[in-house]
């Protein structure tokens, strides 16, 4: 299996920053007032190109763990805007079926092309996973899983699927 991985950050280049800082210094010296742009949201988003498999027992490089968790270059990513059924272990047969379907669907969605990872309200969860909103062309993949009945909106806590 061939893995492609490219990470493009929307952070400005060093040359751009140097030019911007020089311009800013000139404006300050001239007494010009300005409002600084909020780059934090842009800097927290990155476009990702990768091919995903299924994670063997939760480990792997570019793979899907379950319907709301995947690994990218070995880093654990939690899809922050949804709650998907558990697969490790499921608590009932219904949760097992839904969890397997959500896992395979997330893998298919991730493999359809580049996605953008946007930082959620917090950087990580209590398990150390990166919390990210995963989008393609401005549409959340989490929303897609919710629309298909394979996940539900994240409301701050897990709720039972059984």
Asked whether the predicted pLDDT for residue 35 surpasses 50, the reply is: no
Q: Please enumerate in sequence order all residues whose Cβ is within 8 A of that of 137, keeping only pairs 6 or more positions apart, or say none.
A: none
Average pLDDT, the chain: 78
Q: Which of 21-25, 96-100, 137-141 has the lowest mean pLDDT?
A: 21-25
Q: How many Cα atoms within 13 Å fall on the side-chain side of residue 96?
A: 5
Q: Which has more pLDDT, 55 or 26?
A: 55
Tell me the pTM. Answer: 0.70
Asked whether the predicted pLDDT for residue 12 surpasses 50, the reply is: no
């Amino acid at each position: 299996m061939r893995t492609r991985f490219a990470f493009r950050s929307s952070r400005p280049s060093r040359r751009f920053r140097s030019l911007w800082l020089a311009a800013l210094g000139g404006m300050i010296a001239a007494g010009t007032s300005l409002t600084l742009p909020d780059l934090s949201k842009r800097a927290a988003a990155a476009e990702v190109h990768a091919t995903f498999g299924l994670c063997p027992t939760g480990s792997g490089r570019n793979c899907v763990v379950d319907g709301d968790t995947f690994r990218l270059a070995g880093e654990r990513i939690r899809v922050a805007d949804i709650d998907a059924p558990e697969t490790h272990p499921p608590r009932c047969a219904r949760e097992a079926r839904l969890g397997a379907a959500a896992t395979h669907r997330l893998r298919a969605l991730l493999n359809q092309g580049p996605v953008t990872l946007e930082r959620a309200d917090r950087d990580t969860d209590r398990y150390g996973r990166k919390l990210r909103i995963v989008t393609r062309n401005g549409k959340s993949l989490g929303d897609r899983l919710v629309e298909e009945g394979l996940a539900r909106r994240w409301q701050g806590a897990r709720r039972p699927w059984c």
